[in-house]
Amino acid sequence: MDIKAFGQFLRWMRKKMNMSQLDLALTVGCTMPTISKIENGQEYIGKRLFDKLNELFEGFGFSYDELSMERLFKFKQARAELLKAIKRGRIEDIENKIDKLQEYMDIKEGISENTIRNFEKKRNSNDIYEWEHINYDSDYEVDKQYFVFAHLIRSRQNGMTLEVFLDEAIGIFELRRKIPDYKDIPDVRLSNIEYELFFIIAKTHLAMGDDNTAELIFKGLLYNKCYLDSPKVRERYLEISVVMASLLLDRRDFKGAYECLSFIFGEYISNFDTQVIYSALKVQHDYCKKNNDDDGVRIIDRFFISTDNLMTHMLKIYRLNQMG
């Protein structure tokens, strides 16, 4: 789905139905800012909301099916799976996900060509609406960024120098737009792939000994105001805090490193349910006992004791920090 195209269609339909953004939001059960972001092409629409809107459109004799939501979510899933593979760092897994994304890119390219052909057929007829006067520029370039980024990671694993890797990463960012000045990162809306590129660019600067540039980028990502409501924001804060803690520790900035570590342990204690892990380990403990595996029993016992001591200690410090 071209999110700009759908946004224009949504705005056109809303006005045709004589509804304000607030009216539409109340009708379909979402917030007005969500409707505004979708209309401005700033946010992908979820399947549940899309189905509700499409049902409303159909009541007025219209539908929007340029690209089925099922396909859309498969495309987004292919990107997400590729990023996960990159983070794991296993070459075979990366190559498999690259192939899957390439398959979807080929499908999308065919769909885009059909869309443009249909638009050209209707251009000189009366069977065309205001919202269709758009540039059908799909997010193929975004897919390409994921695709090339994965190949770049693989090249780095095969011995590409840090200097070349850094230049190539910046080049991938600029496949869609000029890379922002690093000091402006807090105010720039970043896509998922742009965040990953900035993160890897910062880590590369760090590996090259340029701590100041790395810190500037990491802090820019931490203070980015555009994604405070993103479901990935906690994951990103944790990811950056781990690297920042190590960077600050190397500088002997113990206070800064301590703050990062307190945040990490505090988030872990507050938001992650460890019950599943403990339950599985207890079953494993029983399994070891029944099979006379004394070493296994002893290792799990030590793990339970050490983990409990660590979490109790960190929880105490975390709560003291909150009180202070």
Mark whether 84 and 120 lie in a shared domain: yes
Rounded distance between C-alpha atoms, residue 188 and residue 181, angstroms: 10
Mark whether 78 and 25 lie in a shared domain: no
Instruction: Provide the sign of the torsion angle of the four alpha carbons 159, 164, 170, 175, taken in this order.
Output: negative
Q: What is the pLDDT of residues 251-290, one digit of tens each?
A: 888 888 888 887 777 776 666 656 667 777 888 888 888 8
Range of the domain at 244: 173-251
Last residue of a domain, one of 39, 66, 93: 66
Residue 261 lies inside a defined structural domain of this protein: no
Last residue of a domain, one of 251, 267, 283: 251
Residue 264 lies inside a defined structural domain of this protein: no
The torsion defined by the Cα of 124, 127, 132 and 134, in degrees rounded to 10, comes to 0
Mark whether 108 and 59 lie in a shared domain: no
Q: What is the pLDDT of residues 111-135, one digit of tens each?
A: 555 544 554 554 455 544 443 333 3
Task: Find where tokens 């990935």 sit.
Answer: 232
Looking at 174-293, list the stretches that DSSP marks H as alpha helix, in order from N- to C-terminal side: 192-207, 211-222, 233-250, 254-271, 275-290
Looking at the chain, the whole-number percentage of residues with pLDDT higher than 90 is 20
Q: What is the pLDDT of residues 89-103, one digit of tens each?
A: 777 888 888 888 777
Mark whether 59 and 72 lie in a shared domain: no
DSSP letter (8 states) at residue 46: P
Residue 288 lies inside a defined structural domain of this protein: yes
Domains identified in the chain, total number:
4
Instruction: Provide the sign of the torsion angle of the four alpha carbons 206, 209, 211, 216, taken in this order.
Output: negative
Mark whether 292 and 279 lie in a shared domain: yes
Residue 166 lies inside a defined structural domain of this protein: no
Residue 4 lies inside a defined structural domain of this protein: yes
DSSP letter (8 states) at residue 187: G
Can you give the pLDDT at residue 67? 41
Burial grade of 93 (CB within 10 A; 0-12, 13-18, 19 or more): middle
10-residue averages of pLDDT along the chain (324 residues): 71 84 90 89 77 74 52 69 82 82 70 51 48 42 82 86 94 90 90 89 94 94 71 80 89 85 73 68 86 92 86 70 58
Instruction: Provide the sign of the torsion angle of the four alpha carbons 226, 232, 233, 235, taken in this order.
Output: negative
Looking at 3-68, list the stretches that DSSP marks H as alpha helix, in order from N- to C-terminal side: 3-16, 21-28, 32-39, 47-58
Can you give the pLDDT at residue 128? 40
Q: What is the pLDDT of residues 238-248, one digit of tens each?
A: 889 889 988 98
